[in-house]
Structure 1
């Protein structure tokens, strides 16, 4: 696992997508895998499990934005942690292993169970943040970047978001992907940066879809999702 220390210089290009995530109409075309309750008590999207956390992976879920995005984009959203323990994750550059659309009917069914996303027939990068599920995650807060197929941990950095009892929010999260460079930021602070050489962990992933995942019994709120084309500055 290696992280780059040189800061990537970029600029935001055309806005490709914008969604306030403020009501049911904003996510009427989103696709749920697994079972979850989506509500908007503060005019921002609240996600929580409906199945008993004792069911383990079966209680977790993924909520996908249906839009296909090009390569080299900047993804940003506001985040509020409401209840822990749990964990939040964002998938990006998600496609079928052979380039199929993520929802191609030829792909295996997915229901929120983690191995279906890292050892099945799709490829994706995914960032996990606000990792408060297990005791070691709660005692030492990190954000992790993984690349799948294969669940490769490729970059890691300290998570600046405090636990729920001290969290104020919103925390502005930004995920930048410029070709083979990935940068993850919280409130404009770089958490990690990684260069995908396209060799060590398989070919570089391009384009695809984004989705939000939570581990039960986490409750999180999200707003102001924005995706821009990313250009070298």
Structure 2
């Protein structure tokens, strides 16, 4: 049971991710291939990680700036392993710049550019099947950056891609300092930022998907609602 309960308010964004027109204004950092099958967006690396190493990973940004107090939902389909899937949220320049500002250094998909570079963001890795130790003991990890601070972790209920029966319904709540994450309505983690230990609480910003090669995954029905705190059942 999560500490606080939220419900969907106004719909701020809906994207079925079902055809090329749905991602025309999205921004890719790094190299990746996209395709569409069964009205779902399939994403995978373009570069061979055995040759290009960390240059084979990438980030794909939704162009919208979202406010604070939101519920982010999407359908996730693991297709091929090994790899890692992550979502960035509340992402913006460290001095308040727009994430895509030309005043910020260029980013090309390498992870340090996102956790120890010129931006602030929260990032949740929810499918960590890249390295042997991650597959041996699977967790979902929430980090706050600038600084790569691991602030919360929860058990990952997702099976290997070969055993998956998707879609998996992902739900992420960002409400002031509170972050909640669930899969198929199963609570995975909850964390409340005190605004002191790891710097000020982040507000709004952009959302982006990240994959580590050679992961292949599919996505559909990305939706963002305003989050409304339920009354009468919160501690």
Q: Where does structure 2 lack aligned partners over 5 or more consecutive residues?
A: 231-235
Instruction: Give the corresponding residue for 1:149.
Output: 146
**2:107 paired with 1:100:** no
What's the RMSD between the two structures over aligned residues? 0.8
**2:13 paired with 1:34:** no
CA contact (8 A) 2:76 2:217 kept: yes
TM-score by length of 1: 0.97
Instruction: Give the corresponding residue for 1:13.
Output: 9
Query: How big is each residue's C-alpha offset from its partner over 1:78-125, in whole Å with a ceiling of 9 and x where there is no partner?
Result: 001000000000000000001110000000110000000011110000
Q: 1:41: how far off?
A: 1.9
Which of residues 174, 199, 204 in structure 1 aligns to 2:171?
174
**2:39 paired with 1:48:** no
Map 1:67-216 onto structure 2 (within 5 A): 67-216=64-213
**Length, aligned pairs only:** 229
Q: Distance in 1 between matches of 2:104 and 2:209?
A: 19
Q: 1:183: how far off?
A: 0.1
Spell out structure 1 runs of 4+ moving beyond 6 A.
none
Q: Distance in 1 between matches of 2:65 and 2:90?
A: 9
Q: 1:129: how far off?
A: 1.2
TM-score by length of 2: 0.96
Q: Distance in 1 between matches of 2:2 and 2:180?
A: 11
Q: Distance in 2 between matches of 1:13 and 1:167?
A: 31
Instruction: Give the corresponding residue for 1:65.
Output: 62
Residue aligned with 2:11, SS: strand
Q: 1:42: how far off?
A: 2.1
Instruction: Give the corresponding residue for 1:22.
Output: 18
